[in-house]
Amino acid sequence: MLLAITVSKGEFDMTDNSVWIVEDESIVAMDLKSRLQSRGYDVLGISGSGEDAVEKIRQHKPDIVLMDIVLKGEMDGITAAGIVREELRIPVVYLTAYADTQTLDRAKQTEPYGYIIKPFKESDVISTLEVALYKASMERKLRESERWIQTMIRSTGEGIIATDTKGLVKFMNPVAENLTGYDEKAVIGKPASEIFSLTMEGPGTSPLDPVNRALANEGSLSSDEDERIVLIAKDGTKRYIGYIAAPIKDDRKQLMGVVLAFRDLTERIRIEEMVKRVVPGIRATPFRDLLKEEMDRLGHSS
């Protein structure tokens, strides 16, 4: 018989974590309930079938679910655990006395957080719950951090493109979509050099490829303020831009890809050129400084 212990929402704290037991043997269920309550867990209820378990877990959203894989009704414990895991992000730990290879292979698909072998000791159950709760808490914090980062990246005023180690697009924010003319979903997995088409202004210049240069050198590089770098969008629209490309590495210093950030400098350069044409003889320092401040502002707001 196989049981599952699942975890979800609260901060990692051994006390006051809530439990839902899914077990078709009432003696086992009541024994588990008593043991868990004695260790400070709040047992919210017991279900004897997968269907009832899914309904009650959706309603009560416990931190821990203890689930027998062989249950009354058409839905077994693995199916129920899979629904709980995917829909409610409640991880699963299986408690088993015996199981065939096919059953264990199915159980693995629910991404269990561990197994406890029956007959079990109370200490085994508690220690497994502690580990599962801690892991769930860390994963939840990671997801929250990722959501914050995604929100900031998508709301920034700069275009951002992220690639893998082959220079293939993994992510593109809305500003990058607007400047390049490409939809993110359409370019995932395609070479960034095809999406981010750059050239230096002037005749006889060759295309620029900052992503692959950053990958090859494993170092950051950026455009120079005096350079006239042109981004050619999907529809042929040309814009002056400034960019920086930086490699991303993991904790072992292994290359993971490149992040490319760029901004539209077209308006700033247009004003610079206009000033050069209209007032080439400006010498008054206050006016010249004022123009510089305004152009700097335009550059940062672009």
- Angstrom distance (rounded) from CA 266 to CA 264: 6
Is the distance from CB of 3 to CB of 23 less than 8 angstroms?
A: yes
The rounded average pLDDT for each run of 10 residues, N- to C-terminus, in the chain (302 residues) is 47 67 88 91 93 95 86 89 91 76 86 80 89 88 84 83 96 95 96 92 77 92 88 94 93 91 90 71 56 60 54
Chain centroid offset of residue 30 CA: 40
CATH number of 157-264: 3.30.450.20
CATH of 2-150, one of 3.40.1190.20, 3.40.50.2000, 3.40.50.2300, 3.40.50.300: 3.40.50.2300
Whose structure tokens read 């610079």?
272
Domain extents in the chain: 2-150, 157-264, 267-302
The b-or-e profile of 3-16 (16+ CB within 10 A means b, else e) is bbbbbbebebeeee
Looking from the CA of 92 toward its CB, the CA atoms found within 13 Å total 29
Supply the pLDDT for residue 7: 44
The alpha carbon torsion through 147, 150, 154, 160 (nearest 10 deg) reads: 180
Instruction: Give a three-class secondary structure readout of the chain.
Output: CEEEEEECCCCCCCCCCEEEEECCCHHHHHHHHHHHHHCCCEEEEEECEHHHHHHHHHHHCCCEEEEECCCECCCCHHHHHHHHHHHHCCCEEEEECCCCHHHHHHHHCCCEEEEEECCCCHHHHHHHHHHHHHHHHHHHHHHHHHHHHHHHHHHCCCEEEEECCCCEEEEECHHHHHHHCCCHHHHCCCEHHHHCEEEECCCCCCEECHHHHHHHHCCCEECCCCCCEEEECCCCCEEEEEEEEEEEECCCCCEEEEEEEEEECHHHHHHHHHHHHHCCCCCCHHHHHHHHHHHHHHHHHC
Nearest to 11 by CA among 110, 139, 173: 139
Supply the pLDDT for residue 11: 43
- Angstrom distance (rounded) from CA 96 to CA 119: 8
Supply the pLDDT for residue 294: 60
- Angstrom distance (rounded) from CA 38 to CA 2: 23
Supply the pLDDT for residue 287: 55
- 207-230 per-position pLDDT tens digit: 889 999 999 998 999 998 888 999
- Angstrom distance (rounded) from CA 48 to CA 53: 7
If 0-12 CB within 10 Å is exposed, 13-18 middle and 19+ buried, where does residue 161 land? buried
Question: Token digits for 128?
Answer: 């497994």
Supply the pLDDT for residue 198: 92
Question: Token digits for 242?
Answer: 């400034």
Whose structure tokens read 């919210």?
44
